[in-house]
Amino acid sequence: MKQINKFKKEYEDIEIPSELDQVVKQSIQRAKASQKKHNPVKRWSLGVAAAAALFIGSINASPAFANSLANIPVLGSIVEVFTIETLTMDRETYQANLKTPAISGLEDEELQASLNEKYIEENKELFKQFKEEVADMEEVDAGHLGIDTGYEVKTDTEQLLSIARYKVNTVGSSSTTMKYDTIDKQNNVLVTLPSLFKDDSYIEVISSYLTKEMKQQMADDENISYFAFDGSDLDFQAIQADQNFYITSDHKLVISFDKYEVAPGYMGIVTFEIPSDILSDVLVGDTYIR
């Protein structure tokens, strides 16, 4: 047993080259030089093999070196968003084009499946309703009807994925609505607006900022307008507890309003980036918003 322990100690005490990268390069160069007359693919393979052998030998020779590798981030699975289904109708006065997104690559397959099912069922139901409305309008032989849905990836980082799904209904004029999903890819969490904050005090904090911002925008630019009651300077009172939102790649909170929700139609979808400093006292932490 003592002899075994002695060999083990000698094995673990083997010194690792201080300039590992240089040694790897030298090994590759030697392998290439020795194979000048052979196939270049073979020479490359031998160089890689030499480097791999040195790397593996270094891991085996030193537990400390091996342990240090555990702290190097490993590239995770690639998360992708793609169009899984398109539902269409193209008649003289009735057009539909519904693009359905799907997510692949999330570690939590149950979360991924639930989101994909939601997106598929959402568009199927919209298409069903559209066809029913078309049938009703055809009976009276009048009208124009259209629907268009799609999606946009707003944020895609190592940690966060924010997907925006839009719906445009056209009946004379058009209306646009937007829905967002923000996913923590590392922790497999679907982030909601309330989950970001300690309590519901965020509603007042954000709403107060938005009221001032809307007024300031109108004062600065005559082309910007928000709804106002007669006798008041602003219709907007407060955001919903589950107001539409997404998180940017630099960890900023963006609040979103649908077309006609707080402003005339020409303003379209209206978004506001909320300064992180006004949220610091009400945030649960700085994992998502900084």
* pLDDT tens by residue, 81-93: 999 999 999 998 9
Distance of CA 211 to the CA centre of its chain: 28
* Range picked from 4-18, 25-39, 204-218 for highest mean pLDDT: 204-218
Domain over 76-191 is classified CATH 3.40.50.300: no
Q: Answer yes or no: are the C-beta atoms of 99 and 67 closer than 8 Å.
A: no
CATH number given to 192-290: 3.90.640.20
pLDDT category at 143 given cuts 50, 70, 90 is: confident
pLDDT at 113: 98
How is the beta sheet containing 160-171 ordered, strand by strand?
A: 80-90, 94-104, 145-156, 160-171, 173-184, 189-191
pLDDT at 26: 53
pLDDT category at 66 given cuts 50, 70, 90 is: very low
Task: State how far the Cα of 31 lies from the Cα of 50, in Å rounded to an integer.
Answer: 7
Q: Where are the domains of the chain?
A: 2-69, 76-191, 192-290
pLDDT category at 142 given cuts 50, 70, 90 is: confident
Task: State how far the Cα of 263 lies from the Cα of 15, in Å rounded to an integer.
Answer: 70
* DSSP tag of 77: P
pLDDT at 179: 98
pLDDT category at 231 given cuts 50, 70, 90 is: low
- Cβ-proximal residues to 245 (8 Å cutoff; 6+ apart), any chain: 180, 182, 193, 253, 254, 255, 256
- Cβ-proximal residues to 190 (8 Å cutoff; 6+ apart), any chain: 111, 115, 181, 182, 183, 184
Give percent of the chain above pLDDT 90: 67
Q: Answer yes or no: are the C-beta atoms of 115 and 133 closer than 8 Å.
A: no
Tell me which residue has tokens 């997106």.
Answer: 119
pLDDT at 92: 87
Higher pLDDT, 252 or 2: 252
* DSSP tag of 74: P
> Looking at residues 259-284, what average pLDDT do you find?
97
Beta strand residue intervals within the chain, DSSP E: 80-90, 94-104, 145-156, 160-171, 173-184, 189-191, 245-247, 253-257, 270-274
Answer whether 0.75 is exceeded by the pTM: no
